[in-house]
Structure 1
Amino acid sequence: MGKSYDGNILLVSNYPSDVGYAWWLMEHFWVSLSKQFEQLSNMAFLAYPSVKAVPDAIENSNIEVVELTVPGSTKAEREKLKHFIKSNHIAHIYFTDRPWFNISYLTLRSYGIQNIVVHDHTPGDRPPIRGIKGLVKAARNRLPLACADTQFCVSELMRQRSIQNARIPHRRCITVQNGTPPIQGNQEQRDAARKALGISDNAVVCVTTGRAHPYKRFDFIIEVASEVSKRNQEHKLVFLLIGDGPMLPELRSNIERLDLTTSVKLLGFRSDARELLAAADVAIHAALGEGFSLSIVEYMSAGLPVLVPNIPSVKQAIDHEINGFVFGENDVDSAAYFMRKLAADIHLRSAMGKNAKNKAIRDFSLVSCTESFERACNRAFFTHSSKSQPYL
């Protein structure tokens, strides 16, 4: 296996070392890259903008943690970065959610960086760009020194977005399908989770996890809960909203205003969010857009049928009427209808939940994700194949 460039790699974090959220997967990728570089007697450094507590996965790896701002907004920061790159023989940089085209890449290359890889997790559905605008964008995104060398995309749909909307050369885009570890649950865990949350055995529980941010539409889910409560008298339905964020005060106010305090539980941040899925019967994910939602795959892995809006990036994993339901975008009545349908039919929930779990295991496992990532790294970092291709 011939190396494209001999040198060490700098992994770049977009957040301080003591902020996690759903970044466990990026930490997994960083550790994987460090092992791959170690096999070739090279080192991996991880740059945080500020360093306090370091995640266990990083602490227990061979990654060397440094405090750096990349590319740097002040002259002092840039000089510090330049010295670090040159003195540590850094040839590669691995970014998360950085743009394909960035003038700062010219500066990084002048410091000695020869290979820039960006891993794109950014959410959203964007139309193809054609005509003059498309030609201009395509031309700009083929300027080799100001552009990254390779982009990893979290799903095939996101790869097509990069090619058709961002107009990134198709040979430079590699799909690394997101995946998660399996979620194992049993009756004992279910009973314990419900007891801890004060939920009765006969309640039907709907869960959602994520940031309490307008983009994730927790407010929409509360509207669905309100609509369900008006027409659903036969089955007690409880909604669990798990996640911290700027909308929490507004969401609490909405719950009180709609008299939903007994049927909607706003739990905030929970370190045991995955374990709490055992308490649920169904899940809903109402975001306005995704890259590829790990939350949805976690619901599926837990054996839950999932309700999602008719938005391409959000519904990627869900097959309507097989492992979940796809409701109309911003359509409270549609979502409430499918919610009531699932609440009323335990056999439907069970069948859809099994289908969801089987698909999660088959298509979205962390094992297959890791294998895909390693293949992409082999192409982007360790062979001449990506460098020998024309920039088209």
Structure 2
Amino acid sequence: MRKILIILGSLDLGGTEKQLFKILKKIDKDFDIHLALVWKKGKLYKDFKNLNIKIYKTFERKKYNSKLLGIMSELWGLKKKISPKIIHYYLPHAYLIGGFLSIFKDKITFFMSRRSMNNYQKKIFAIKFIEIFLHKKMDLIIGNSSKVIDQLVNEEFVKKEKCLLIYNGVEKQKFIKRRKKRVVNIIMLANFISYKNHRMAIEAFSLLDKTLNWRLSLIGNHTDKKLVYSLINLTIKLKLKKQVLFVGQIENINSYLKKADIGILSSNEEGFSNSLLEYMSFSLPVIATDVGGNSDLISENSDGFLVKQNDAMNFSQKLHRLISDYDLRIKLGKNGNRKINDKFDIIKCANTYKKLYKSM
């Protein structure tokens, strides 16, 4: 059985981690899969442990005073012990720490999955140069949206033939025709990180006609307490406290998706949003900022609306349109559900990875 070593930072409740879980769940019987974590376990650790894979916590190594040297030593040992056919990096953390393995190829095929736009490279000097160097050592670089691929080619000098576009996938859902309600429920699935731009979304709701009946549920990780408190204070200032609910992080969001009428996303950056996939699979019309791969997924006026980044006024106008038009919500939700089932099925996504791993 073909051995694959996947290197990842942690198994937290992030979009990449949840997507990887769904993929491995479909292919773990076809390969001998080993997963090395270089940062921490994360909240999905127990779920991954139930898969037919082996997990290594390289960050627990105590041999060296330097934690980084310990992790690198552990990764080197795993490479020698496992002798994988393929090493696959997910996310910058794992790529930057474990990328040195690609310098010594030893007949191993190396993949890297880029799951976001490269804005993070601007935060720390030299990251971009290190990644450009590592890109040359990769046999294939996988992007999850056309914008991610374009950035790799145009800004990081990766040859187009070395890139592969594989969209995220989600489980198929039957079309849900929601009943007309007095209060329209709106959902936003996004961890409380500054670039998710919850502030703009809240400001957009403050611009709505006061006669509209709506409720917004903000679901995501509350780790950044300072950000959360500032947003709560903003809802108080804008007199929206009773209408905006800070739900926090939940593992099973299906019950919220079923009760919702509209799904929104106000991010300043995205690779390819799992939240939008979830919304549309559950027959929700969507409003999202036109960043990253969102335009790969949303067709304007067909299954949702795209607005410019930080444009609270336009966002509010789209909200008004959907909140006040039940028939439009049903129409857009139905179109979105059909699109997801046709093009973004998780089985189709997993089969693409299966074929890729077998072809190398």
TM range (shorter): 0.7 to 0.9
* Aligned-pair CA distance for 1:298: 0.9
Match of 1:241 among 206, 215, 218: 218
| More divergent stretch after superposition (89-98 vs 44-53) | 44-53
Q: 2:33 aligns with which of 39, 44, 68?
A: 44
Residue in 1 that maps onto 2:351: 371
Aligned positions, number: 343
- Once the two structures are superposed, the pairs formed by residues 120-199 of structure 1 within 5 Å of their partners are 120-123=114-117, 144=136, 147-184=137-174
SS at match of 2:278: helix
- Aligned residue for 1:47, secondary structure, equals strand
Conserved in 2, the CA contact under 8 Å of 1:100 and 1:141? no
Structure 2 CA distance for partners of 1:323 and 1:114, relative to 1, 3 Å: same
Structure 2: distance between partners of 1:201 and 1:372: 41
Paired residue type of 2:261: D
In 1, the alpha carbon distance for the partners of 2:78 and 2:119 equals 38
Instruction: Tell me which of 244, 263, 269 is aligned to 1:283.
Output: 263
Is 1:10 aligned to residue 10 of structure 2?
no
What secondary structure, in the 3-state scheme, does the structure 2 residue paired with 1:315 have? helix
Partner in structure 1 of residue 88 of structure 2? 94
Greater CA drift, 98-107 or 356-365: 98-107
Counterpart of 1:85 in 2: which secondary structure? Answer: helix
Please state if 1:292 is matched with 2:260: no
Q: Distance in 1 between matches of 2:70 and 2:198?
A: 42
Deviation digits for residues 213-255 of structure 1 (CA, Å, limit 9, x no counterpart)? 1111111111011111xx241x311111111231211111111
Instruction: State the secondary structure of the residue aligned to 1:350.
Output: helix
Does the C-alpha gap of structure 1 residues 76 and 331 become closer, same or farther in structure 2, counting only changes over 3 Å? closer
1:215-226 to 2 correspondences below 5 Å: 215-226=195-206
Aligned partners of 1:185 and 1:278 also within 8 Å: no
Flag the 1:87–1:327 CA change in 2: closer, same or farther, 3 A: closer
CA separation in 2, counterparts of 1:77 and 1:376? 28
1:358 to 331, 334, 338: 338
TM-score (norm 1): 0.77
Secondary structure of the corresponding residue to residue 204 of structure 2:
helix
- 1:227 aligned to which of 207, 216, 227: 207
Give the match for residue 299 of structure 2.
Answer: 319
User: In the alignment, residue 352 of structure 1 is paired with which amino acid?
Assistant: L
Say if 1:269 and 1:220 are closer, same or farther in 2 by CA, change over 3 A.
same
Give CA deviations for 1:344-368 in whole Å, capped at 9, x if unaligned.
1111111111111111111111122
- Structure 1 window deviating more from structure 2 (149-158 vs 355-364): it is 149-158
Q: Secondary structure at the match of 2:296?
A: coil
What do residues 47-88 of structure 1 show as CA deviations (whole Å, max 9, x unaligned)? 123458764543233311222159x95444433333332233
> Structure 1 pair 104/349, CA: closer, same or farther in 2 (3 Å)?
closer
Name stretches of at least 5 consecutive residues in structure 1 with no aligned partner: 1-5, 38-42, 127-136, 192-199, 383-392
Shift of 1:318: 1.0
Matched-pair contact (CA < 8 Å) for 2:26–2:347: no
Map 1:327-338 → 2, pairs under 5 A: 327-338=307-318
Separation of aligned partners in 1, 2:357 and 2:2: 15
Corresponding residue number in structure 1 for 2:108? 114
Q: How does 1:334-345 map to 2 (within 5 A)?
A: 334-345=314-325
Structure 1 SS opposite 2:188: strand
CA RMSD of aligned residues (A): 3.3
Quick check: 1:209–1:241 contact (8 Å CA) kept in 2?
A: yes
Match of 2:63 in 1: none
Partner residue in 2 for 1:60: 50
Q: Please state if 1:20 is matched with 2:13.
A: yes
Paired with 1:74 and 1:203, the residues of 2 have a C-alpha distance of 52
Percent of pairs with identical residues: 19
Change (3 A) 1:222 1:63: same
Indicate if the aligned counterparts of 2:72 and 2:97 stay in contact, CA closer than 8 A: no
Structure 1 residue 294: deviation in Å?
A: 0.9
Query: CA–CA distance in 1 between the matches of 2:290 and 2:42?
Result: 41
Asked if the contact 1:86/1:111 (under 8 Å) is kept, the reply is: no
8 Å contact kept, 1:156–1:177: no
Alignment of 1:210 onto 2:153: no
Structure 1 SS opposite 2:80? helix
Unaligned stretches of 5+ residues in structure 2? 61-65, 121-128
Q: CA deviation at 1:109?
A: 4.1
Q: Which moved more, 1:365-374 or 1:306-315?
A: 306-315
